[in-house]
Amino acid sequence: MTRELIGGLALLIVPTIAILILFRIRSKRRSQEKTLFDLPAFSAENDLGEVLYVSTVFSSDLLAKVWAQGLGNRGNARLWLGKSGIGLSRNGEVDFTIPTSSIESLKEVNATIDRGVEAKGLISISWSHNDVGLVTNLRFRDKQRHNEIKKALIETLGVSFA
């Protein structure tokens, strides 16, 4: 009887921990959405094709993922580029634009919060929204595509990589 009781309690621990994590993420998401409540509307000009949306984190804490507006979910996306900024159309999530005026810097990096890749494998876009510094990280299927997108960003937006 004691073994069954201990086994039953042990089985309850896993779902309890999962529920606690779920509530914690929902709480973080709600508090972040008070600050990041209105992502810039998506605008599309030139479709640059498929990318992997890796993450958006706070520039003040690169280990804190942004959960507001579905930005915490990694997935496939389409990258759009125009004079107004960089548009991201994510599968199953809210599409948004990073306005050219809010872009602070562009870099090539090897890692973000929970993803490490080859040297200079990610394009990292530092930008701000509602006075909150953010960093969005994108990955491309191959190095040639990465270089093509980098060149397009430089030419269209008139920015340089740090």
Range of the domain at 120: 46-157
Q: In this structure, are 56 and 136 located in the same domain?
A: yes
User: pTM of the entire structure?
Assistant: 0.79
Strand bridging mode 132-139 / 122-129: antiparallel
pLDDT at position 8 is 85
The separation between CA 156 and the C-alpha centre of its own chain, rounded to angstroms, equals 22
Rounded-to-10 torsion of CA 16, 21, 23, 27: 160
Answer yes or no: do 110 and 133 share one domain: yes
Instruction: Assess whether pLDDT exceeds 80 at residue 4.
Output: yes
Same domain? 6 vs 65:
no
pLDDT at 134 over 90: yes
135 pLDDT exceeds 90?
Answer: yes
Residue 85 · residue 98 · CB < 8 Å: yes
Q: Domain check: are 4 and 50 in the same one? A: no
Query: Residue 144: which CATH number?
Result: 2.30.29.30
With respect to residue 41, please indicate whether it lies within any of the assigned structural domains: no
Inside any domain, residue 59: yes
60 shares a domain with 22? no
Q: Are residues 24 and 75 in the same domain?
A: no
